[in-house]
Amino acid sequence: MSSAAAPDGASEPQGFAHLIEKVTVMHASATWGDAVQDVEAVLGAPGFSDGTGWASFGTVAVSDESGPAWSLLAKTRSLEAVARAAAALGWQVGPVVSGGHEDRRSLTAPTGLQVVAYAPHA
């Protein structure tokens, strides 16, 4: 992460890495079961799977959600702070989408990198 000098001489973070608690590489597939088998062939059994649409292999997860085939799933405590920081970098920031367990925002870098920032419900 790069930083810039703040007016008082202190280093000020650029980006939003300091707002992210955990990152998972997520593969979304309409053929979830087949995709899980493929990843399992490489990484072994998932640490967790709900058996229908989510399997976690540590830092890699397979989902049945629609969206980009590959993205970064970034856990945060503040979607708004992440959205502000991403927008300041010129990223496209999607609306908040509420799910059963968390609120999410899609973020797209000017280069096309897709990030799904999420904050678990309290």
pLDDT digits (tens, 9 = 90+) for 108-120: 999 999 999 999 9
Mean pLDDT over 60-89 rounds to: 95
51 has pLDDT over 90 = yes
Q: How far is CA 19 from the centre of its chain?
A: 12
pTM of the model: 0.83
Assigned superfamily of 22-120? 2,3-Dihydroxybiphenyl 1,2-Dioxygenase, domain 1 (3.10.180.10)
- Cβ proximity of 103 and 119 under 8 Å: yes
Q: What is the gyration radius of the CA atoms in the chain, in angstroms?
A: 16
Domains in the chain: boundaries: 22-120
